[in-house]
């Protein structure tokens, strides 16, 4: 994953303070932006700008990294072959275009009695993290610490674990509890050994129309575990960034109640982002908002620039907003549209 963040006119010199003020809804002037790319989109931008490290080229205030994994987010077939098995025993397809997909979960039955969890706090997972933290010390550094419900869907299969919510709730509860324990152990090592500003959780709960499960099931099974993760991060002075695609409108209040700082990626095709600003804008920093299903792949550069200005003005009012496309940028977006987004975000206000 390539992450990029920049500003419009009057870029703030102290990037950490810039993002802290954004999160605090303090007057900041420029609106930061964030960009998440699949390998083809990242390569297109690298070719256009002539730089391999887009973060440094754009002088980005937010920097993100993840703990090391046997299977990186984007596992190239050239390096790993057609399939790769992750730490949990889940078999994935590999792809040059995206993250691939699960082709064999590791839990064929709702039973953990013979399953051994990987150690997410093993030393190998933290290799090079100290150097990364030092090299990005002037930026707002966020470390991805794992996934909870999403990991359960990988391990058991999406359809199976959704059925387990009603048929085998004790199994689902045990699975989520064990995953939470692993995440907390990894966070404990992070907080003891490394300096950085925030943690990120990746956990998709929504389809485009609504939650994948009932709000009651989410509150019963997931919210208590998520509350432990959020509370542990906040008790160590770290901001909490949560990624969930889809329409999660019915549980945003719950996530704020347990300590969420940044909600990502607020997809405009799934939720009314301006309504979210009105309802929750004083309690959370919204990250996202730009249409990726029609505007970016099929719109004109001028239309993209207009939409960027609207989002900056309306969602950026009063702070608490980081501009980003609604999902990770795909390879079907024309390079001129990618550049229109980047340049509009950087140049808005006359930079």
Q: How far is C-alpha 95 from the chain's CA centre?
A: 20
Collect the ranges in the chain with pLDDT lower than 70: 1-13, 28, 348-351
pLDDT at 56: 84
pLDDT at 121: 94
Domain residue extents for the chain: 2-347
Whole-angstrom distance, CA of residue 246 vs CA of residue 210: 7
pLDDT at 3: 40
HSE of 258 in the Cβ direction (CA atoms, 13 Å)? 20
Whole-angstrom distance, CA of residue 177 vs CA of residue 24: 32
Helices then strands (H, E): number in the chain? 15, 12
2-347 CATH pick, 3.40.50.1220, 3.20.20.210, 3.40.50.300, 3.40.50.2000 = 3.20.20.210
Q: Which of 34, 48, 5 is nearest to 333 (CA)?
A: 48
pLDDT at 13: 53
pLDDT of 9-41, one tens digit each?
Answer: 334 458 899 899 999 998 767 899 888 899 999
Whole-angstrom distance, CA of residue 144 vs CA of residue 27: 28
Q: Supply 148's token pair.
A: 């909870």
Strands, E assignment, the chain: 2-6, 33-37, 62-66, 83-85, 91-93, 102-104, 140-146, 198-202, 239-243, 262-264, 285-290, 321-325
Determine if the pTM surpasses 0.85: yes
* Helix (H), strand (E), coil (C) string for 48-78: HHCCCCHHHHCCCCEEEEECCCCCCCCCCHH
pLDDT of 127-184, one tens digit each?
Answer: 999 999 999 999 999 999 999 999 999 999 999 999 999 999 999 999 999 999 999 9
């Amino acid at each position: 994953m390539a992450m990029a963040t920049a500003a419009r006119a009057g870029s703030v010199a102290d990037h950490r303070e810039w993002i802290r003020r954004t999160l605090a809804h303090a007057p900041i002037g420029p609106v930061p932006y964030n960009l998440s790319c699949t390998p083809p989109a990242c390569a297109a931008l690298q070719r256009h700008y002539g730089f391999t490290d887009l973060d440094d080229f754009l002088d980005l205030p937010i920097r993100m990294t993840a703990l090391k994994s046997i299977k990186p987010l984007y596992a190239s077939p050239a390096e790993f072959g057609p399939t790769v098995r992750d730490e949990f025993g889940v078999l994935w397809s590999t792809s040059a275009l995206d993250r691939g997909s699960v082709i064999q979960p590791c839990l064929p039955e709702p039973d953990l009695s013979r399953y051994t969890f990987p150690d997410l706090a093993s030393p190998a997972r933290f290799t090079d993290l100290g150097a990364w933290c030092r090299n990005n010390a002037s930026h707002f550094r966020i470390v991805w610490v794992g996934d909870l419900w999403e990991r359960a869907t990988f391990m058991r299969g999406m359809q199976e674990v959704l059925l387990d919510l009603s048929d085998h709730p004790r199994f689902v509860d045990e699975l989520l509890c064990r995953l939470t324990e692993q995440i907390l152990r990894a966070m404990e090592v992070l907080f003891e050994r490394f300096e950085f500003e925030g943690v990120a959780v990746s956990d998709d709960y929504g389809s485009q129309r609504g939650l994948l499960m009932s709000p009651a099931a989410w509150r019963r099974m997931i919210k208590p575990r998520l509350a432990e993760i959020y509370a542990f991060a906040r008790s160590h002075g770290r901001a909490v960034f949560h990624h969930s695609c889809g329409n999660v409108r019915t549980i945003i209040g719950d996530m704020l109640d347990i300590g969420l700082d940044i909600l990502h990626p607020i997809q405009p095709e799934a939720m009314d982002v301006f309504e979210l600003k009105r309802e929750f804008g004083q309690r959370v920093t919204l990250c996202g908002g730009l249409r990726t299903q029609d505007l970016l792949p099929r719109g004109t550069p001028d239309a993209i620039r207009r939409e960027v200005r609207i989002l900056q003005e309306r969602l950026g009012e009063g702070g608490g907003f980081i501009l980003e496309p609604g999902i990770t940028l795909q390879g079907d977006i024309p390079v001129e549209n990618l550049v229109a987004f980047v340049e509009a975000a950087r140049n808005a206000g006359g930079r």
